[in-house]
Amino acid sequence: MEIILLLVLAYLMGSLPSALWIGKLFFKTDIREHGSGNMGATNTFRVLGKKAGIAVTVFDILKGTAAVLLASLPYFADTHIHPLVVGVVAVVGHMFPVFAKFKGGKAVATSGGVLLGYSWPIFALVILTFLLALKITKMVSLTSMIVAVMGVIYGIIYYFITGDFYLALVIFLMGAFIFYRHRANIARIKAGTEPKVKWL
């Protein structure tokens, strides 16, 4: 029973549609009706501005972190479920949120939050990689996919150092999620029509 409760809570955490709620509450705007229509930080930056974009990014990161930490609570001690599994469920909730008709974000920030909750050094490395790649490419979508690939490489290296197979596997899985959710972006990148950020 505790395992089911833990996974349901993780999914519900991931399902919290921060971009939708922040847009409606503070800007009287349904983010799904503007820009790319995606409920993620990138579209929030583009449609609602930096403050809203930062708020959504932080909130979405913390969803993944909270889910991982949830597994360490004493109440769930007997579930013996790996915290990264709980984190992945939160990422699935972010992509397919029950509170927003199962149409959510692209898994980037919440995946980062999972790493933050489990291994902050890997998270810090991923953030640095993201900022560097974004500076070079000017495209959040391409940067996200570059980071997904580099994350897998970091996970493999970390495995050989620590023997943590679960982390390497979960990073690979979250990277696959990111590529899957960026299918339309890949097509636009190939066509040369993918928007670029203007604030870098």
Q: Which of 1-15, 33-47, 118-132 has the lowest mean pLDDT?
A: 33-47
CA distances from 62 to 1, 77, 101, 143 (A): 25, 22, 22, 21
CB 97, CB 17: distance < 8 Å: yes
Tell me the C-alpha distance between 146 and 186, whole Å. 12
pLDDT, position 200: 60
**What burial class does residue 1 get, using C-beta atoms within 10 Å of its C-beta: 0-12 exposed, 13-18 middle, 19+ buried?**
exposed
Q: Average pLDDT for residues 131-144, to the nearest whole number?
A: 95
Tell me the C-alpha distance between 82 and 94, whole Å. 19
* 199 has a pLDDT exceeding 80: no
pTM score of the predicted model? 0.94
* 77 has a pLDDT exceeding 90: no
pLDDT digits (tens, 9 = 90+) for 9-23: 999 999 999 999 999
Q: What percent of the chain has pLDDT over 70?
A: 99
Each domain of the chain, given as residue ranges in start order, spans 2-191
- At residue 35 the predicted structure's pLDDT band, cuts being 50, 70 and 90, is confident
Residue in 22, 9, 115, 101 with CA at minimum distance from that of residue 61: 115
* 149 has a pLDDT exceeding 90: yes
